[in-house]
Structure 1
Amino acid sequence: MDDLERQRELRRVRDEVLSSPNCPICLHRMEPAEVNSDVGRRCPESGAVA
């Protein structure tokens, strides 16, 4: 992997993390999850769904 490709990958990962909302209950980062056969977000700590 060259430097430019590595920078693009790091930028993509950073953008994913920054666009992830915080849980309204416990403020942990919510993670992508399948919710009722649809893509949504779920908190790994509290189980809250967004």
Structure 2
Amino acid sequence: MDDLERQRRLRLERDALLDTPNCLACLHRMEPTDVDGVPVWQCPECGTTQPA
């Protein structure tokens, strides 16, 4: 992998992190999931969900 490709991958990872919300209850980074077929964000620590 050359340096340009490595920079592109790092930029994609950074952008993905910036698009991920934090939990309003405990401030941990939320993860995308489906609840009853509806895409939502869910906190892995406290289980809080919010619409995607």
TM-score, shorter chain, exceeding 0.5: yes
Superposition pairs of residues 1-50 of structure 1, within 5 angstroms: 1-50=1-50
TM-fit CA distance, 1:34: 2.0
Q: Distance in 1 between matches of 2:35 and 2:9?
A: 27
Structure 2: gaps spanning 5 or more residues: none
Structure 1: gaps spanning 5 or more residues: none
Taking structure 2 as the reference length, the TM-score comes to: 0.81
Query: Cα RMSD (Å) of the superposition?
Result: 1.1
Q: Distance in 1 between matches of 2:30 and 2:4?
A: 29
TM-fit CA distance, 1:37: 1.6
Which ranges of 4 or more aligned residues in structure 1 deviate by more than 6 Å?
none
More strand by share: 2
TM-fit CA distance, 1:39: 2.7
Taking structure 1 as the reference length, the TM-score comes to: 0.84
